[in-house]
Structure 1
């Protein structure tokens, strides 16, 4: 196609040159900006083209009222026999996945479930996991994707907060003690059910789940050894269910909720973020921006209850036909062998997966693989540099975003340290920004003359915010089931009069080239082992478990690791803290990533109007034994041990992890 003799590519380039020229004229007195514009020209041309394609894709899917299952059915029609998933020794074609999803939809419809109902899904990574929510979405049932590491109060809260009518759980979770509770194995008999199933059973026995139906995905488990006797063997039931697509036709559109995904609650227990069909499809647009190819094979060794694994990863398979390798649990020692076995070309990561891989000894497979790049978030900067030096030819493409948020950044170039970029010429027009924040109370700092937020200049740290645009899946904020929690993430009149923005709660800095760098979480949360943790929730459990009146929980940095681990300061003026009992209670009540790694036992904690300042001071002192005279303890092999100078040195040097 040509216009006035020019091809589309030429017209696009001429348009970009005009825009660039206009910006250059405006910035003629700013030589640094002109230099940055010229230097980033190749990057910005590519980024602009991918932005346009991404917008065209999301506009088309929105205009044609696509749902996640309609997008998937288009892929089945294109290539029914293509491999959708590899899982261990299983191979699932797109047609097999579709048939199984029809069985799920038909079965639960026959059981009386209907549009608007909710079902909790608690399962390790396996093909049946996305099949469940895909099949349920066909009949309008919304699936709550619950982290299977949760315990007792948090677990019951997540099930109840969305008014679930049933729970589907993975009976394989009872095969011995999970890897994250192995350090506490002295507390349990071998082959006992996992802490998760013990929690489910206890909640049920206490009446917390009496009104819910329980369905278990079993592995040929005899009735007499059923992990939870009250549950229905869903695996057996689905074998007899119909796969007739006509039986599960329900009127579903793009605005109907697809799943709930949980995020850490800054004021306590997890929040359920609503993810509608059109936003879930938007996640899959990463296919365009990351330049993933139709013949790529993508490995997902991260949890499917997260948006990154469950929506971005699975979304690339469902919406774009990319073959996906689902890994039950990440194994650093088996990783490169798996890459070679399945001919993997693209890998997802989160948390410290990159560090775990770097610390592995060399193996033949790490030189025989076909991996082009990793994409995800949460890589340690020091390890990032070492990783790309060791595994030459592999790029790390860090991303920035959140399940419910409306700001997404992608570092498609693999630039060290950056979480993404925005073309310099586009920055004044993009519906997001960065504003300065009061460090103590977290409020947006405003210009006294205009009342608007004070925007950050290059190299200034500020909170990333996104303008909310209703009806646009890229810019919408659908909120949480808790209206108060939804309102707490919204601010008005920040970038311009009359606007409404989403507050990400993340501190970001950008340089003059419009690369963005993540700095820290704002408020009472921290991120550890790839999971966001609410300090408020942990504080409540620490206080209850210790039997003491005051506790403060905060995140502290350990050198060489990504994110911050938990540290609890406990008030114990009478020196009566029972560490053994405290450890047992903490292990029962909190998932592994939320348990405080360090304890600071103090004679007194000032809980006054300056509470926030007190927490900031505690966080600054961290576990520095030269500054702190209080008792310090470290969680080592499931037990809190005194933090000696020798142990402190080993932790800081990375010898103890």
Structure 2
């Protein structure tokens, strides 16, 4: 039946007209050229002109994308065939560029040889201390060259790293250690207090190493710096005789999924190479380039797309401990950067800075990242003189990745309309209330979204394929929850991103919203169920619904919580303000509160958030319900009335 459907899809009116015109012309004149001309004319007259127009406008873009796709696929096949992992690819880069600068950090300069030797010390130390291939070492530290060297050294020893968000505390931090089944934890001295806080609850037998000197106040922690000084700088033999499997796990990156605590997403050697090399190819990064990386190294953008340019392509990478809007362009000029990374908030913060001469006193030709608002795209380029903005879309744990390669304002990437099957991402319509894909009652297959119609982005899963396969999460059940089956035909399988996008007639994709129970704020994905659980515990198990709301002048959505107070006794908002800083990172704390009598639920007891989300924090829409906003200065929840709402809209109250 599927073959018959495919055949019927090929028999379209324009194609019939094209074939008929060609046949008549050839029979009448025996001229192949005339037959071809009449075939095209017949095709266009029957409606095919739309396809011809799209093909003419997008062929150069699609050809460039195809070249990068083929080059990347060839590289991945070579990795598999030759059993080469990221450590081996870095080794080749370092050997060819031993005296060139790999990392710039503050006043430090790390050559490729120094990075190689430091990571060799790490690998030898891990092997000597009994770490076996496949075991996990967790890394909790702020961005610095050593961060990347640590996981690289672990990879040389066959050890998997778990890159933990340095903002996590208490139960979230413990959860990450347990989820990864870590045998060791390397923590930066600057984060020793976070480890001390959970020390009594750390997994039994967990070995502790303090990066930065001393033991961080933990008597059972070893001084990592001192131990590394005693370790050999020689390249260790790989623990498995035949060498690494490129499909093996390289490290874990934690991401908030649709429910629950942070999930450990698996990054294999292949996936690291695919993601970083694709960006490098599209934007022409290579020897001679200097990349400014001010993003956290525990995240995909900074840790893979940024660091990968150094390890695989020989780019010099400037690492910043933390982003600074006032120092951004001065740093780019100081380090002579030719490229830089961003998230949407960074671009807005930079535009909000007072204009100064150094705004254009730099060599940055391209910036790549995600979350740049279309409204400020051109203004940003014009003010700072950046020739190209490389907006992209990517989900850490999925096979859905796209890149805007031609500076089309607002687009996060594209799908070829000439040959859509080459890169099989699709949009399917979703129920606006539940966020679930809509299915056709007749055959129970998902309903494709057409051009201009919002739909959830999904990616066809081909097990074992280097690009279309997925590594998913450490937890197999969590991975399975992201799978959509029987989507476009019975028996197929797609990865569900939970993101709603819109595609135009040329195939350009535009981000619209997130479905399900996550929202994105300050560049971080926030799991609403985790926040709901914290609020409920603090408020004596009160019903809470957490959702994201738009705040004027800000990217993403800020957290808002509706708290049920059925008896009208009042909610202890001061208690929330007191306890939440110890339970949730700053980006996950609700900025707005709404006290309601009750929260509507579905028949399966899922809270209905659609109307709450539409109301936002506008007092005129919230039916007189008490509203509060989190004052960033005092850390307290203050009453949100009409004047306060207006001040937020004008940007006078900032978050």
Shift of 1:98: 0.5
Shift of 1:436: 1.3
For residues 271 and 257 of structure 1, the distance between their equivalents in structure 2, rounded to whole angstroms, comes to: 15
Q: Does 1:230 align with 2:220?
A: yes
1:420-569 pair list within 5 angstroms: 420-569=413-562
Q: Does 1:269 align with 2:261?
A: yes
Maintained 8 Å contact 1:101/1:135: yes
Higher relative contact order (CA 8 A, sep 6+): 1
Shift of 1:50: 2.8
Q: Which residue of 1 aligns with 2:363?
A: 370
Q: Which of 626, 636, 639 is 1:642 aligned to? A: 639
Q: Does 1:201 align with 2:201?
A: no
Q: Secondary structure at the match of 2:369?
A: strand
Q: Aligned-pair RMSD on alpha carbons?
A: 2.1
Q: Does 1:602 align with 2:596?
A: yes
Q: Which residue of 2 aligns with 1:33?
A: 51
Q: Does 1:51 align with 2:46?
A: no
Q: Deviation digits for residues 276-324 of structure 1, max 9, x if unmatched?
A: 1111111122211222232111111101111111111111111111111
Q: Which residue of 1 aligns with 2:648?
A: 651
Maintained 8 Å contact 1:156/1:208: yes
For residues 87 and 425 of structure 1, the distance between their equivalents in structure 2, rounded to whole angstroms, comes to: 45
For residues 637 and 181 of structure 2, the distance between their equivalents in structure 1, rounded to whole angstroms, comes to: 38
For residues 84 and 199 of structure 2, the distance between their equivalents in structure 1, rounded to whole angstroms, comes to: 38
Shift of 1:611: 5.5
Q: Does 1:115 align with 2:133?
A: yes
Moved more, 606-615 or 585-594: 606-615
Q: Which residue of 2 aligns with 1:319?
A: 312
Shift of 1:414: 1.5
Q: Which of 360, 375, 381 is 2:374 aligned to? A: 381
Shift of 1:28: 5.2
1:236-251 pair list within 5 angstroms: 236-246=226-236, 249-250=239-240, 251=243
Q: Which of 625, 633, 636 is 1:630 aligned to? A: 625
Normalized against structure 1, the TM-score is what?
0.89
Q: Which residue of 1 aligns with 2:154?
A: 136
For residues 134 and 116 of structure 1, the distance between their equivalents in structure 2, rounded to whole angstroms, comes to: 14
Q: Which residue of 2 aligns with 1:11?
A: none
Maintained 8 Å contact 1:438/1:444: yes
Q: Secondary structure at the match of 1:412?
A: coil
Shift of 1:613: 6.5
1:346-365 pair list within 5 angstroms: 346-365=339-358
For residues 533 and 30 of structure 1, the distance between their equivalents in structure 2, rounded to whole angstroms, comes to: 45
Shift of 1:495: 2.6
Larger Rg: 2
Shift of 1:116: 1.5
Q: Secondary structure at the match of 1:479?
A: coil
Q: Secondary structure at the match of 2:561?
A: strand
For residues 27 and 564 of structure 1, the distance between their equivalents in structure 2, rounded to whole angstroms, comes to: 47
Shift of 1:334: 0.4
For residues 397 and 429 of structure 1, the distance between their equivalents in structure 2, rounded to whole angstroms, comes to: 22
Q: Which of 223, 238, 258 is 2:250 aligned to? A: 258
Q: Deviation digits for residues 137-172 of structure 1, max 9, x if unmatched?
A: 111111111101011111100100121111111112
Q: Deviation digits for residues 521-570 of structure 1, max 9, x if unmatched?
A: 11000000000000000000011122242111000001221100000111
Q: Does 1:284 align with 2:276?
A: yes
Shift of 1:581: 2.4
Shift of 1:87: 0.5
Maintained 8 Å contact 2:399/2:495: yes
Q: Does 1:67 align with 2:99?
A: no
Maintained 8 Å contact 2:80/2:247: no
1:490 to 1:625, Cα distance in 2 relative to 1, 3 A: same
Shift of 1:514: 0.7
Q: Which residue of 2 aligns with 1:8?
A: none
Q: Secondary structure at the match of 1:268?
A: coil
Q: Does 1:331 align with 2:339?
A: no
Q: Which residue of 1 aligns with 2:115?
A: 97
Q: Which residue of 1 aligns with 2:210?
A: 216
For residues 129 and 382 of structure 1, the distance between their equivalents in structure 2, rounded to whole angstroms, comes to: 36
Moved more, 432-441 or 571-580: 571-580
Shift of 1:571: 1.6
1:489 to 1:70, Cα distance in 2 relative to 1, 3 A: same
Moved more, 32-41 or 535-544: 32-41
Shift of 1:214: 1.1
Aligned residue pairs, count: 610
For residues 538 and 494 of structure 2, the distance between their equivalents in structure 1, rounded to whole angstroms, comes to: 39
1:552 to 1:22, Cα distance in 2 relative to 1, 3 A: farther
Q: Which residue of 2 aligns with 1:180?
A: none
1:615 to 1:262, Cα distance in 2 relative to 1, 3 A: same
For residues 472 and 171 of structure 1, the distance between their equivalents in structure 2, rounded to whole angstroms, comes to: 41
Q: Which of 568, 572, 575 is 1:578 aligned to? A: 572
1:579 to 1:464, Cα distance in 2 relative to 1, 3 A: same
Q: Which residue of 2 aligns with 1:192?
A: none
Q: Which residue of 2 aligns with 1:177?
A: none
Normalized against structure 2, the TM-score is what?
0.89
For residues 41 and 211 of structure 2, the distance between their equivalents in structure 1, rounded to whole angstroms, comes to: 59
Moved more, 439-448 or 512-521: 439-448
For residues 613 and 398 of structure 2, the distance between their equivalents in structure 1, rounded to whole angstroms, comes to: 27
Q: Which of 152, 156, 162 is 2:174 aligned to? A: 156
Shift of 1:56: 2.7
Shift of 1:22: 8.8
Q: Which residue of 1 aligns with 2:144?
A: 126
1:317 to 1:27, Cα distance in 2 relative to 1, 3 A: farther
For residues 535 and 560 of structure 1, the distance between their equivalents in structure 2, rounded to whole angstroms, comes to: 23
Maintained 8 Å contact 1:507/1:520: yes
Q: Does 1:147 align with 2:147?
A: no
Q: Does 1:399 align with 2:392?
A: yes
Shift of 1:210: 4.1
1:627 to 1:610, Cα distance in 2 relative to 1, 3 A: farther
Q: Secondary structure at the match of 1:265?
A: coil
Shift of 1:583: 1.0
Q: Does 1:621 align with 2:615?
A: yes
Moved more, 499-508 or 81-90: 499-508
For residues 317 and 352 of structure 1, the distance between their equivalents in structure 2, rounded to whole angstroms, comes to: 25
Q: Name stretches of at least 5 consecutive residues in structure 1 with no aligned partner.
A: 1-17, 174-196
1:23 to 1:45, Cα distance in 2 relative to 1, 3 A: farther
Maintained 8 Å contact 1:23/1:425: no
Shift of 1:202: 2.7
